[in-house]
Amino acid sequence: MEIPSSANRSQVSPQGLWLPLITPFRDGALDETSLRRLIRHYGTLGLDGLVLAGTTGESLTLDEDETQRLVEVSADELARQGYRLPLYLGLSGSNTRKLAKRLHSLADWPIAGHLIACPYYSRPSQAGLIAHFRVLADSSRHPILIYNIPYRTGVNIGNEAMLQLAERANIVGAKDCCGDPAQSAELIRRRPPGFSVLTGEDAFYHAALTAGADGAILASAHVETASFIAIRDAFARGDEPAAGAAWRSLTDLVPLLFAEPNPAAIKYWLWRTGLIDSGELRLPMTPVSAALAVRLDGAIDRMKSAA
């Protein structure tokens, strides 16, 4: 993929509703059968893209061979089914040189772009963050979406730094989990043309779109996907009452799916509803508690009854 010029960046800038796909495991290995089933299921629902090997995809537990296979199988199943759904690959790390080399090695992978988290643990300055992402932008043949999630990384990339990075043609947007509504609103207001702001805060999906966000990357959209899409579509046509009604139908579901560390509840739900063959996670993540399993089973049964 060619790096977009600043003039045509909007053609590749992520918009709408993206799903950070879980990584299915079975007996300690990547479950390719379930992965293909997930691709077939979500490929038909009207999503705007998928993120592989993100936080919800338990990326830090994947080795490089597994990550490559995850991408290959997903891209192959999309091609088999004729689905035109872009794939972004999640990356993270605090070693700029190592991450730059990794980006070089991924140049020919069948992906549309990268979701790259801010460096974790080292807590660089704003100048360090700018330098880090500039090196990565120079090293990538694919567009980059910056993932700002300070409660995981320990560092918040401020809007002045983000807007400097937005000057790079292949830095096409941000997944915003900064945790500060004022910072988010300012970024949305000041973002340049073609630079997308997508919320990654499931509980703030409706509020972010109301504030003018370009979309969202939401783990909870694994469940009741059609309702999340209905909110996107209602905003697109300017139908605020319909968006509000669809959001109210999800207000109990979203906190339930995050009642314990993500993606345990989502994997349990997908296993119970037959989309994956096992709810297996990799340590340090653990399965849902017995108490949460009862609550999830109740929600699943109520949704089946209402269907």
Specify whether 101 is catalytic: no
| Non-local CB neighbours of 285 within 8 Å, separated by 6+ positions | 58, 61, 261, 263, 264
The pairing of strands 25-26 and 196-199 is unpaired
Task: Quote the CA–CA distance of 83 and 42 in Å, as a whole number.
Answer: 10
Say whether 96 counts as a known binding-site residue. Answer: no
In the set 175, 205, 267, 268, the catalytic residue is 175
Task: Quote the CA–CA distance of 13 and 213 in Å, as a whole number.
Answer: 13
Specify whether 175 is catalytic: yes
Task: Quote the CA–CA distance of 114 and 146 in Å, as a whole number.
Answer: 8
Task: Quote the CA–CA distance of 233 and 303 in Å, as a whole number.
Answer: 22
| Non-local CB neighbours of 32 within 8 Å, separated by 6+ positions | 69, 73
What is the separation, in whole angstroms, between the first and last Cα of the chain? 42
Residue labelled with tokens 């790096």: 3
Say whether 217 counts as a known binding-site residue. Answer: yes
In the set 147, 205, 267, 268, the catalytic residue is 147
Cα angle 9-13-19, degrees, rounded to a multiple of 5: 165
CA nearest neighbour of 13 among 136, 113, 128, 80: 113
Query: Which segments are annotated as binding site?
Result: 56, 217
**Which residue ranges make up the annotated binding site for pyruvate?**
56, 217
Active site residues: 147, 175
